[in-house]
Amino acid sequence: MLLQGKKLLITGVLTPQSIAYGVAELALEQGADILLTGFGRARSLTERSAKRLKAGTEVLELDVANPAHFPALTESLRQRWGRVDGVLHGIAFAPEDALGGNFLNTPWESVQTAFRVSTFSLKELAVAALPLMTQGGSIVTLDFDNRVAWPIYDWMGVCKAGLEATVRYLARDLGPKGIRVNAVAAGPLSTVAAKGIPGFKSLERGWGRQAPLGWDARNSHEAVARTACALLSDWLPSTTGELVHVDGGYHAIGAPPVDTSQDEKEESGQPPPTPSAG
């Protein structure tokens, strides 16, 4: 199997709709041993999901905003496994005032929170796992491509752009140790996190019109999970610092398909149709 015997730490699992849950589920099917992380009140959701994945799956405490949790995580992993082969970083959060068209008014405190949780945590997680990745391995983060500005993403978009840069710098520094670092840029998926993004439904509806392969925000989780598991496996040994798109091809197309019939009518001198009053 693709991940037979691999020891994988998976963050970001809340409910079965979480992208990280799909990765964890497929990783188990492919022979991996997994540990999850959670903290605070949301940890009960992670523990419930862990039971659905596999009886006895442990959930380790990790609040990425608490620096003391990272060395404690290293020690917990050392005691349980002694090594780590792969890490999935599926953590992101931005306060409400950092999203939804409030870019110019967002205070630094909210930006700082978003960056620490969504971006800096990848570096911290990599450093925590590093002492146990003595045989090399793979670190994968879940991303939403932010090489362009989006109408609703605001400071989370800035944080994701920073996440992509962090992937490249980690790939630079960890490559000599045999550790690959990559990002999976998924299209919009229906998750608990997505519900907190103003205007997400509008983005979701329009995505499939531009993506040449089409896109289903409710049923594309498996495609993302397969890509993440491939990157966590040994099948892509020379791929690092990469942004791998799983978005139906949306990123490669400049605009959705256009209807040229109206242009032809205007060029021929025919008046455009009168809008219906109804």
Distance of CA 34 to the CA centre of its chain: 18
pLDDT in tens, 51-87: 999 999 999 999 999 999 999 999 999 999 999 999 9
Order of strands, sheet of 243-246, starting from the edge strand that comes earlier in the sequence = 59-61, 33-38, 7-10, 86-89, 137-143, 179-186, 243-246
Residues 6+ apart with CB under 8 A from 56: none
So which residues are the catalytic ones?
153, 160
Q: What is the mean pLDDT of residues 17-35?
A: 97
Half-sphere exposure of 91 (CA within 13 A, CB side): 29
Cβ proximity of 126 and 84 under 8 Å: no
pLDDT, average across residues 150-172: 96
The DSSP bridge pattern shows strands 243-246 and 179-186 to be parallel
Residue 278's pLDDT band, with cuts at 50, 70 and 90, is: very low
With 0.75 as the threshold, say if the pTM is over it: yes
* Structural tokens at position 224: 């993302």
Among residues 241, 185, 239, 226, which one has the least CA distance to residue 2?
226
